Amino acid sequence: MKKNIEIRIAGFGGQGIILAGYIIGKAAAIYDNRYSTLIQSFGPEARGSSCSAQVIISDSQILYPYLIQPDVSVLLSRDAYEKFANELVDGGTMLIEKDLVQPKHNLKKISIYAIPATRLAEEMGRRIVTNIIMVGFFSAITGIISYEATRKAVETSVPRGTEEINLKAFETGFQYGKKLLESPKKSKV
């Protein structure tokens, strides 16, 4: 049995990829009393360049903080999909931004779940919360970290004064994922 759960979150700069990874790791380590690591990677440009976060969650100490083969990929752009989709472990879970990523069906045996996170964020009037919607979706679909831990990590990680909109975004993503899992015809792509 694999001890570590490896997670890659990727997109482009400006989507809040690193913050999403930070929140997931913090939820596991601080609020679910587990171990986690975060490694970040981004291009020299601040916005628009490739960006990824590598998160490892474990019930025991993590001796090697880099991903070997992710169990979960959260991909928020077409470029991220092209670059990272094939590294997912057989039987892994892929979460995608439905409006920006069109998966090819020749991938390994994996589960793919899609959410229109950017569109949902725009409907809330704050496109900047797309990443928090994805964190909620991740929490609901994977169950790797508890709802309570993730919600608390969101609340304590976002800029002061934005807690309410970010918690609403988290709840939007979580409920979308929960409904997707309960649906008889799951929206696996």
Q: What is the CATH number of domain 5-182?
A: 3.40.920.10
Taking only the tens place, the pLDDT of each residue in 137-153 is 999 999 999 999 999 99
pLDDT band, very low/low/confident/very high, at 1 (cuts 50, 70, 90): very low
**What pTM did the predictor assign?**
0.92
Question: What pLDDT digit, counting tens, does each position of 22-31 carry?
Answer: 999 999 999 9
Backbone angles phi, psi at 143, to 5 degrees: 65, 15
Please, which contacts does 92-98 make with residues 24 or more away whose CB atoms are closer than 8 Å?
Answer: 93/141, 93/142, 95/134, 95/137, 95/138, 95/141, 95/142, 96/189, 97/11, 97/130, 97/134
What's the pLDDT band for 43 if we cut at 50, 70, 90?
A: low
Amino acid in position 31: Y
Q: What average pLDDT does this structure show over 41-45?
A: 64
pLDDT of residue 104: 80
In one-letter notation, the amino acid at residue 129 is V
Give the pLDDT of residue 48.
Answer: 61
Domain layout of the chain by residue ranges: 5-182
